Amino acid sequence: VSGNVGRGSRLVEQASNNIIFSEGDHLVTVVGADNLIVVHTADATLVCPIDKAQEIKAAVKRVSGLADGARFL
């Protein structure tokens, strides 16, 4: 489907305009969803509508404030 970009192991079905990154051998699958940012790393997973991407910075700041937050960044 058009407009999907990314890196790593991913499978996209009936979805468009998604940004999908998967680290390592983890498969990320997006079905029937549009306009998402999906990032999977060894320690954390982020799913966010593209139109809310500016709020990721605030979420990262909140995570860094957690007692064990540094391990997720």
Structure token pair of residue 17:
């305009």
Gap between the Cα atoms of 41 and 64, Å rounded: 16
Give pLDDT tens digits for 2-34: 899 999 999 999 999 999 999 999 999 999 999
Asked if 44 and 36 count as a contact pair (C-beta separation under 8 A), the reply is no
Let me know how long the chain is.
Answer: 73
| Helix H or strand E segment including 21 | strand 19-22
Average pLDDT over residues 28-43: 97
Q: pLDDT-based confidence at 1, cuts 50/70/90?
A: low
